[in-house]
Structure 1
Amino acid sequence: MVYILEESRILLDRCADLVIVSNTPKGRGIFATKDIPAKTIVDVCPVLVLGIEENTEHVRHTSLYHYTYNWPVKDKDGSIKMGQAVIFGLGSMFNHAIDQNVGWERDTKHLLVTYKALRDIPAGEELCISYGPRLTFKDVDAAEVYTEEDGLDQLNRIQLE
């Protein structure tokens, strides 16, 4: 029998009312299948922290690097530097929007990221975060190519299949 200390257990919440849509103008995206109230936990995601050297010498040269988050890391000399982390769960699936509807919070002690709805999110809307200072590409939202009605139409087709 394995005994797990209560304080070492972490509840990994995830909103059940989400789907991944693979063919949006931004690529894959996370969409609400039902209305999601503000402050709802969307997902709690475990984190894999990359070493400074590991990230610089290896990961930075791969496509995985484009899915990593800034994360404080202790360097060999004990100083804190900004490193990178891979976020599991839905964390690496959220697209960017300037007017994001999902916010995120780092938990460096437990190596988790918690995503919460910043406002009420209606069914059919894409859940997006802000990529902040690592944003190095043109914001897709700047072009009027994709509307909320398009997302709702796609969602309705998915639910009928």
Structure 2
Amino acid sequence: MSQPLTRISTLNLVLETPKGRGVFATALIPAGTVIDTAPVLLLSERDFDEHVTHTSLLHYSYNWPTPTDDGKSSVLRQAIVLGLGSMFNHSARRQNVGWKRNLEKQVVVYTALRDIAKGEELLISYGPHLTFVDAEEAMWQRGREAESGEDFLGGIEV
């Protein structure tokens, strides 16, 4: 029988990171711990197109599948995640926090994928379809190709 997940409140929002704001552990977070259960605000297509796309909120929206009236299919809407949910930075290779949508309750649950040390940044994967250049991935790729002697085309200058 698995142990119940526990929610912790040992997080600190930090403003000084190269990626922008980040969330850091202020104590050890054991694997399997529910770090945050964040409510979402579902946006209408009109609100998203006419308002959010013209603000910095655009960078904090999540895709949110919503059932159609017939209940047989779904449409993709956008949602703004409240609480710490929108403050987790992205990492394709070093994520230590997983996230899962609860469509019925309109929340996102964030869970530690492994033990997270005190002082470590909490990172999630935003998925494969990023709307920004993944600086971390470009640096990793550059380092890998420098070791192998291959040329790296694309990415950003660091």
The verdict on how the C-alpha distance between 1:56 and 1:44 changes in structure 2, with shifts beyond 3 A counting, is same
Aligned ranges for residues 6-155 of structure 1 at < 5 Å? 14-74=7-67, 80-98=74-92, 99-142=94-137, 143=139
For the 8 Å contact 2:42–2:79, the answer to whether it is kept is yes
Question: RMSD across aligned C-alpha pairs, in angstroms?
Answer: 2.1
Unaligned segments of structure 1, at least 5 residues: 1-12, 145-161
1:86-125 CA distance string (max 9 Å, x none): 1001000000011211011111111111000011111111
Query: Are the aligned partners of 2:66 and 2:103 in contact in 1 as well (CA < 8 Å)?
Result: no
Structure 2: segments with no counterpart, 5+ residues: 1-5, 141-158
**What's the CA shift for 1:28?**
1.0
Counterparts of 1:150-161 in structure 2, within 5 Å, are none
For residues 20 and 7 of structure 2, the distance between their equivalents in structure 1, rounded to whole angstroms, comes to 22
Q: Between Structure 1 and Structure 2, how many residues are aligned?
A: 132
Structure 1 runs, 4 residues or longer, greater than 3 Å off: 74-79
Task: Quote the offset at 1:32 in angstroms.
Answer: 0.7
- On the 8 A contact 1:71/1:85 being kept in 2, the answer is yes
CA distance in 2, matches of 1:124, 1:133: 27
Q: CA deviation at 1:38?
A: 0.5
For residue 31 of structure 1, what is the amino acid of its counterpart? F
TM-score normalised per structure 1: 0.74
Helix, strand or coil for the counterpart of 2:16? strand
TM-score (norm 2): 0.75
